[in-house]
Amino acid sequence: METKLANLSRRYQAALLRHFKQGPRAGWRSAEGLGREALDLGRETLDLARIHERTLMALVSQSYSAGAGRIK
C-alpha cells in the first residue's frame, strides 16, 4: 500500500510541475485520475492535502537550491 502511495505522490509531483509549466493546457484529466486513484487507495481529503503540501515544499526547496528563486 505504501509503495502505491509513494508512486501516487511521485506522479502528483510530475503533474503539478506540468501544470506550472503549461498552465491550464496541462489539463484537469490528470488531476482527476490521480484523485480517483487516491480514493481507490482509501485516502481522504486531508491525505491529499498532505501530499500536496509535501510536493510544494519539495519543489520550492529544489528550485531555491538550484538558484532559480522560483519554480520553473
Quick check: is 7 in a domain? yes
Instruction: Report the alpha-carbon distance of residue 56 to residue 54 in Å, rounded.
Output: 6
- Cell numbers for 50, please give them: 498532505
How do residues 6-44 score in pLDDT, each as one tens digit?
999 999 888 888 888 888 777 777 878 888 888 899 998
Give the closest residue to 38 by CA, choosing from 70, 66, 1. 1
* Domain of residue 44, residue span: 2-65
Whole-structure pTM value: 0.74
DSSP 17-68: HHHHHHGGGG-SHHHHHHHHHHHHTT--HHHHHHHHHHHHHHHHHHHHHTT-
What is residue 69's DSSP assignment? Answer: S
Please tell me the total count of domains within the chain.
1
Q: Is 72 inside any structural domain?
A: no
Q: How confident is residue 46, by pLDDT bands cut at 50, 70 and 90?
A: very high
Under the banding of pLDDT at 50, 70 and 90, the label for residue 68 is: low
Whether 70 is in a domain gets the answer no
